[in-house]
């Protein structure tokens, strides 16, 4: 990892793209580059600032916006199913990931969780077993402005885990079907009081994770389903949306003591 010092610096700001927004149109563009849109061509100055307005060659105005956390989910190139913003919030909230923390993460997938934790100030080592996914994730880290705080390693964490330095992480985050095979190593990997958070869309692998966490004598092992209902406000009244209940997964959290 280069300069993973958790100092809150966004890396080389010149390399960080900006969003160009007009109504529900959003384009992620590198300052200094050109972007073709259905409303004409946008030439983005290298010294563009958030809040600026840029017009296409047809005179259509776009506002410049700095990329923020939830934008990663919408604008990163997708490989492994990215974690939705609400579940990123749960992981960060339940583990307390903060500036200066060292996080071990797998699998990287699209890299939304890894980048979000880095944007919260952590240094993240993340493993992705698919080499093409890992390459896409490295580019996504550049888009997210966190290349200096995320080390994307190509490899299978179940194979690499025994080579990692003992007690070298504050938090372990897992979003893989084989997470149970890694959870047993948490007491070796984590500092005293460090957290494990495992996200799984399915109950079967969640049960395996809970059993592995108990077997490893991790404390405070708790699993919660993550569900959210959107509210509807219209002329007739206000109520939860009648669309299907929004299950995304199960989050298991445990602590090393
Ligand atoms: C659901 S995605 C992770 C999404 C990620 N949390 C995000 O927010 O974008 C799961 C990824 O884990 C990878 N994977 C599965 N098992 C792995 C392992 N043992 N080691 C490393 N990567 C693994 C898969 O290739 C896949 O890309």
**Over the stretch 185-213, which tens digit does the pLDDT of each residue have?**
999 999 999 999 999 999 999 999 999 99
Cβ(140) – ligand 1 distance below 6 Å? no
Mean pLDDT over 13-33 rounds to 87
Q: Could you give the number of structural domains in the chain? A: 2
Using the 8-state DSSP alphabet, how is residue 81 labeled? P
Q: Where does the pLDDT of residue 9 fall: very low under 50, low under 70, confident under 90, or very high at 90 and above?
A: very low
pLDDT-wise least confident of 8-22, 79-93, 118-132, 151-165: 8-22
Q: How far apart are alpha carbons 112 and 74 in whole angstroms?
A: 10
8 Å CB contact between 150 and 124: yes
Same structural domain, 56 and 164? no
Same structural domain, 114 and 225? yes
Tell me the CA–centroid distance for residue 242 and ligand 1, in Å.
32
Cβ(176) – ligand 1 distance below 6 Å? yes
Same structural domain, 165 and 248? yes
Q: How far apart are alpha carbons 191 and 149 in whole angstroms?
A: 20
CB atoms within 10 A of CB 123: 23
Structural domain span for residue 61: 17-66
Same structural domain, 173 and 156? yes
Indicate which CATH number applies to the domain containing 26: 3.10.330.20
Rounded to two decimals, the pTM is: 0.91
Same structural domain, 149 and 134? yes
Q: Give the pLDDT score at 64.
A: 96
CB atoms within 10 A of CB 202: 11
Q: Is the pLDDT of residue 218 over 80?
A: yes
Q: Where does the pLDDT of residue 242 fall: very low under 50, low under 70, confident under 90, or very high at 90 and above?
A: confident
Cα–chain center distance at 99:
15
Cβ(113) – ligand 1 distance below 6 Å? yes
Mean pLDDT over 231-240 rounds to 94
8 Å CB contact between 210 and 198: no
Would 11 be classed as within a structural domain?
A: no
Cβ(106) – ligand 1 distance below 6 Å? yes
Same structural domain, 54 and 156? no
Tell me the CA–centroid distance for residue 128 and ligand 1, in Å.
6
Q: Is the pLDDT of residue 5 over 60?
A: no
Q: Give the pLDDT score at 243.
A: 82
Same structural domain, 53 and 88? no
Would 12 be classed as within a structural domain?
A: no
Which protein residue has the closest C-alpha to ligand 1 atom 12? 107
Instruction: Give pLDDT tens digits for 60-76.
Output: 999 999 999 999 999 99
The closest-lying atom of ligand 1 relative to the alpha carbon of residue 109 is 27
Indicate which CATH number applies to the domain containing 127: 3.40.50.150
What mean pLDDT value characterizes the chain? 92
Would 8 be classed as within a structural domain?
A: no
Tell me the CA–centroid distance for residue 160 and ligand 1, in Å.
14
Q: Give the pLDDT score at 244.
A: 75
8 Å CB contact between 145 and 172: no
Tell me the CA–centroid distance for residue 111 and ligand 1, in Å.
9
Tell me the CA–centroid distance for residue 201 and ligand 1, in Å.
12
Mean pLDDT over 150-170 rounds to 98
Q: Where does the pLDDT of residue 10 fall: very low under 50, low under 70, confident under 90, or very high at 90 and above?
A: very low
């Amino acid at each position: 990892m280069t300069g993973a010092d958790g100092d809150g610096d966004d890396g080389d700001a010149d390399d960080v793209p900006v969003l160009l927004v007009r109504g529900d149109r959003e384009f992620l563009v590198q300052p200094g580059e050109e972007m073709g849109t259905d409303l004409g061509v946008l030439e983005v100055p290298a010294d563009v600032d958030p809040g600026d307005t840029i017009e296409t060659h047809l005179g259509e105005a776009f506002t410049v916006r700095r990329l923020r956390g939830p934008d990663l989910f919408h604008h990163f190139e997708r490989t492994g199913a990215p974690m939705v913003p609400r579940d990123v919030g749960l992981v960060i909230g339940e583990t307390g990931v903060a500036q200066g923390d060292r996080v071990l993460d797998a699998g990287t997938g699209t890299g939304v969780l890894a980048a979000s934790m880095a944007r919260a100030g952590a240094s993240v080592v993340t493993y992705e077993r698919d080499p093409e996914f890992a390459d896409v994730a490295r580019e996504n880290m550049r888009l997210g402005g966190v290349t200096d705080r995320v080390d994307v390693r190509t490899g299978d964490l179940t194979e690499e885990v025994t080579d990692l330095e003992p007690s070298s992480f504050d938090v372990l985050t897992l979003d893989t079907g084989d997470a149970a095979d890694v959870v047993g190593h948490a007491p070796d990997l984590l500092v005293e009081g460090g957290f494990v958070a495992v996200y799984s869309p399915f109950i079967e692998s969640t049960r395996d994770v809970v059993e592995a966490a108990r077997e490893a004598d991790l404390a405070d092992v708790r699993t919660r389903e993550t569900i959210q209902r959107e509210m509807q406000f219209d002329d007739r009244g206000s109520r939860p949306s009648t669309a299907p209940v929004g299950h995304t997964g199960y989050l298991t959290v445990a602590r090393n003591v």
